[in-house]
Amino acid sequence: MFRIVPATADDTLLILELIHGLAEYERALPEEVPVTAKDLRESLFGEHPAAEVLLAFEGDAAAGFAVFFHNYSTWMGKRGMYLEDLFVKPEFRGRGYGKALLAEVARIARDRGCPRFEWSVLYWNTPAIGFYNNLGAKPKGEWTIFRLTGEALRDL
């Protein structure tokens, strides 16, 4: 009864619902997640899609999703895969859906010739860190993520 499928524009509202579920899990305030269905439709299914989405279903019920896109390694001279979001609804956790979604993105990366597959995890998310460690993923502790937003981005 479990299946993973690529999302289509018809799934936009479901993707938005999953994004809000992830934001709640990550303790984000509603104003930190201003994304709209229109934003998603344009950025994911418009003329130049910015990312791809896989949806996991148990029967007809959405269990979770993975959002990913290509990045680029100058050192390798090849594109890689970056996992932006992996989320499984609380009622579906512990059943292997997260691993199945991650494995499918890894398969896509491998099939596209990507030599690496990367993502970030919040330092307090110990269940996810343990999950990733068990899969053989290695943290890149020497790196720190920097971000410009709002006024700082505009000013630069």
Q: Mean pLDDT across the stretch 138-155?
A: 91
- Active-site pick, 82, 97, 123, 132: 132
For residue 40 the two structure tokens come to 């998603």
Q: Mind listing the domains of the chain with CATH numbers?
A: 2-155 (3.40.630.30)
d(CA 100, CA 10): 23
Q: How big is the CA angle at 110 (ends 54 and 96), to the nearest 5 degrees?
A: 45
Question: Which pTM value belongs to this model?
Answer: 0.94
The band of 109, judged by pLDDT with boundaries at 50, 70 and 90, is: very high
pLDDT at 41 over 90: yes
Q: What is the mean pLDDT of residues 43-47?
A: 97
Confidence category of residue 142, pLDDT binned at 50, 70, 90: confident
pLDDT at 27: 94
CB 132 within 8 A of CB 122: no
- pLDDT tens-digit series, residues 65-103: 999 999 999 999 999 999 999 999 999 999 999 999 999
132 as an active site residue: the answer is yes
* Distance (Å, whole) CA 134 – CA 103: 13
